[in-house]
Each structure stands twice: as C-alpha cells, then as structure tokens.
Amino acid sequence: MFDVSHSHMPEAANGEPSTRRRVVLLGASNLTRGISTVIETARRMWGRPLEVFTALGLGRSYGANSSVIGRQLPGINECGLWDALNRAEPLPTAALVTDIGNDLLYGSTPSVVARWVEQCLDRLAAIQARTVMTLLPVCNLPSLGVGRFWLMRQIMFPMCRLTRDTVVSRAVELNEMVREIGARRGIPVVEQKLEWFGLDPIHIQFKHCPHAWRQVLGGWSDTAERAEPARISLKGSLYLLSRKPERRRILGIEQRGMQPAARLNDGTTVSIY
C-alpha cells in the first residue's frame, strides 16, 4: 500500500535517518504518470525504506531544457540530481532509465540521444548502480497511422514538424542503439509490450502499470517474479506530483524546492530534480 506521511523520518539508534538502499529513476511522462506505482514496486523489490532520487516530468529531455504548458525543466543530464548523488553517502543503488525517445520529437538525432543516455549510464556506473533500461515502444509503430501520429504530435509535441516516416525511422534507429548499449554494458533492456498500450502509442495504460513496472524493474532482483504487483494509488500519485522539484521555471519565473520533497510512512524519502 502506498501511504504518505508528513512526519519526520524514523531514526536509527545513532540518531541518523534509517535508510538501507537507494533508487535512481530517470524518465519523462510514463515515469511521471506511474511514479507512485514505480516507487511502490521498487519498495517491494529493492527493500524499504528507500532513498529515491528522481528526474522526471512530462516531456522531459535527457540533454536539453524542455518546456510543457509554461513549465520548464533542465535536461536530465544537467539537473541537480548528479551533484546530490555525489554528495550522498554510498548505498546499494538500483536505477531505471526509461522514456528514451522524447528528444526525437524535439529534433535531436538518434546518435545525440544515445550519447545523452550513455552519459547518464556512465554516472550510474560510477556509483555501481544496478541499472535497467526500457526500449522505445516500437511495437506500436506498425499500427501508427498518419492521422493518429498527427494527433499525438499536436497534443504532446506541438512545436514538432517532423513527419511520421521520419520519426518512425529515427525511433527504430535509436531503439537499436539502446539495445546495443545495453548489450555492450551488460545492462538489462526491457521491451515494451503491445498489450500495455491503447490508442495512445506512447503511454502505458494505467490498468497495466502494476504488471508493466514489475516486469521493467525485474532486473533489479532475482526474486522479482515473486513480488506482488503494486496497487495504483491516486492519493500517492497526487501527493508526489504536487511536490516541488529542486529547480524549475513556471511562466519564466524560477522556483526552487528543498529536497527531499516527499517522505513516506516507512521512512522512504523522494527527491525530485
């Protein structure tokens, strides 16, 4: 069950916060939409309490500033998460790298996006994180007609003027690059399944989130298949999505938030960058 708390973290005998393990979550809209389910899945697989570091957000880019409905966020590579990790004490760490592909709709080439992803993987390797990645949802490409592509592009990437054929070609190319990166680095890569999606070719349907995220995070734990799927928690999602990240701009006005931004009832903390 995903419960939130506004109380202080539990303390160990020496008065220090009791945290056993750390999780790093990197992604964009799927991670944002499913954040409470992802964290609950992580707690079931990786233990609790957790120290969660996440860089997420609708339309988030891995390497450039992104703007969605007046809200601007720095690229994942440029955000404060990495400095915070460098300052933090070493802990056993698991990491997720997902939502790779947004940058194609911003005009970045597959090779540029792959380089940004590898920079994140280099930093995660430096802290000996046990990392998993998701491939792009290319399973949807055969059924993605011109009309549905145009509608998706207008709603989610209104500034994009790339054609369907260009985006499809680049998505396939980037997907193979991600697969090769995973093979070369020994990082599990998870193929997204057609049944996870509906008319929306990018976002996992909410009803499939518990099973989908359990499969994605399964590379963290040898006992993943025995873990019960997490329940979807509207309360948990609203709580986490209401937290202020370390840095953002709203209509050009900079806002900063103290981290960790959220504390859960078992002592898990969530920092958002």
pLDDT tens for each residue of 50-68 = 999 999 999 999 999 999 9
Assess whether pLDDT exceeds 60 at residue 197.
Answer: yes
Q: Is residue 229 part of a domain?
A: yes
- Please, which pLDDT band fits residue 5 given cuts at 50, 70 and 90? low
In 59-73, which positions are buried (b, 16+ CB within 10 angstroms) versus exposed (e)?
bbbbbbebebeebbb
8 in a structural domain: no
Residue 191 is assigned to a structural domain of this protein: yes
Largest CA distance in the chain: 61
Phi, psi of 43 (to 5 degrees): -65, -35
Asked whether residue 1 is assigned to any structural domain, the reply reads: no
Question: Per the omega criterion (within 30 degrees of 0), is the bond before 49 cis?
Answer: yes
Q: Is 112 left (phi over 0), alpha (psi -120 to 50) or beta?
A: alpha
How far is it, in rounded angstroms, from Cα 264 to Cα 9? 8
Residue 254's H or E segment, with its range, is strand 253-256
Residue 248 maps to a domain: yes
Q: Is the pLDDT of residue 14 over 70?
A: no
Return the pLDDT at 11.
41
State residue 232's pLDDT score: 86
What's the confidence (pLDDT) of residue 106?
95
Reported as a pLDDT band with limits 50, 70 and 90, residue 19 is low
Task: Say if residue 228's pLDDT is above 70.
Answer: yes
Region 155-174 average pLDDT: 94
Confidence at residue 8, expressed as pLDDT on a 0 to 100 scale: 38
Confidence (pLDDT) at 176: 98
Structural domain count, the chain: 1
Paired strand residues for 71 = 68, 250
Centre a 10 Å sphere on the Cβ of residue 20 and count the other Cβ atoms it contains: 13
Give the model's pLDDT for residue 9: 39
Contacts of residue 133, Cβ cutoff 8 Å, sequence gap at least 6:
96, 97, 98, 100, 117, 178, 181, 182, 187, 188, 189, 190
CATH number of the domain within which 199 lies: 3.40.50.1110
d(CA 241, CA 251): 18
CB neighbours (10 Å) of residue 129? 22
pLDDT-derived band at 223 (thresholds 50, 70, 90) equals low
Kindly report, residue by residue over 24-44, the tens digit of the pLDDT.
999 999 999 999 999 999 999
Residue with more model confidence, 45 or 2: 45
Does 116 reside within a domain?
A: yes
What is the reported pTM? 0.91
What is the mean pLDDT of the segment spanning 229-235?
88
Two structure tokens written together for 38: 């992802």
Average pLDDT taken over every residue of the chain: 91
What distance in Å separates the CA atoms of residue 58 and residue 245, rounded to the nearest whole number? 13
The answer to whether residue 124 scores a pLDDT higher than 70 is yes
Containing structural domain, residue 175 = 21-272
Q: How far apart are CA 154 and CA 102, in angstroms?
A: 14
Confidence (pLDDT) at 77: 97
Residue 61 lies in a domain: yes
Q: How much of the chain, in percent, has pLDDT values that exceed 90?
A: 82
Of the two residues 186 and 69, the one the predictor is more confident about is 186
Residue pair 201/140 in contact by the 8 Å Cβ criterion:
yes
Give CA–CA dist 57/76, Å, rounded: 10
152 lies in a domain?
yes
